[in-house]
């Protein structure tokens, strides 16, 4: 029996990526990383800033995401995200740009704990790839 399922990543502008030979996807869910294999139970979850890893027959891909929602159902994984960047051809300036705006945001006084947590996360991830 094949161990593959299909994944689709969409951002508001377009369908970013669509693959149907995926064996495992690791997503940075809100309460910790989730690895999804075939026949996982139907799940809806949130993403925090982090790295999505997609393992497929044709190789391994990594993407940086800002936020997002995932839905897994009937061996179809949909990932909705507002900002996604492929780590392979990412530009250093772009990362620094996001990093800078996150830092500015963090310095504002009127943010709540949750926002602060997310921004901290974001910076940590960005630093690790930069």
Residues that bind other proteins (CB under 8 A): 8, 10-15, 29-31, 34, 41-46, 69, 71, 73-74, 78, 80, 82
Please, what is the minimum distance in Å from the beta carbon of residue 95 to other proteins? Answer: 17
Identify whether the C-beta of residue 16 lies closer than 8 Å to the C-beta of residue 9. Answer: yes
Task: Calculate the CA dihedral of residues 32, 36, 41, 44 and round it to 10 degrees.
Answer: 50
Please, what is the minimum distance in Å from the beta carbon of residue 48 to other proteins? Answer: 11
Please, what is the minimum distance in Å from the beta carbon of residue 65 to other proteins? Answer: 14
Q: How far apart are CA 54 and CA 64, in angstroms?
A: 12
C-beta of 42 vs 130, nearer to other proteins: 42
Please, what is the minimum distance in Å from the beta carbon of residue 15 to other proteins? Answer: 5
C-beta of 69 vs 129, nearer to other proteins: 69
Q: How many of the other CB atoms lie within 10 Å of CB of 11?
A: 17
Nearest to 21 by CA among 36, 9, 6: 6
C-beta of 42 vs 127, nearer to other proteins: 42
C-beta of 13 vs 60, nearer to other proteins: 13
Nearest to 76 by CA among 45, 124, 36: 36
């Amino acid at each position: 029996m094949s161990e593959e399922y299909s994944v689709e990543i969409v951002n508001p502008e377009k369908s970013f990526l669509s693959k149907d030979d995926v064996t495992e996807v690791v997503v940075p869910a809100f309460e910790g990383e989730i690895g999804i294999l075939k026949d996982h139970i139907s799940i809806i979850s949130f993403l925090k800033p982090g790295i999505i890893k997609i393992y497929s027959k044709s190789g391994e891909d990594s993407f940086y995401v800002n936020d997002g929602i995932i839905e897994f159902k009937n061996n179809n994984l949909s990932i909705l995200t507002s900002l996604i960047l492929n780590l392979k051809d990412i530009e250093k300036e772009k990362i620094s740009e996001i990093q800078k705006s996150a830092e500015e945001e963090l310095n504002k006084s009127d943010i709540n704990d949750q926002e602060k947590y997310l921004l901290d996360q974001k910076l940590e991830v960005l630093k690790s790839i930069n």
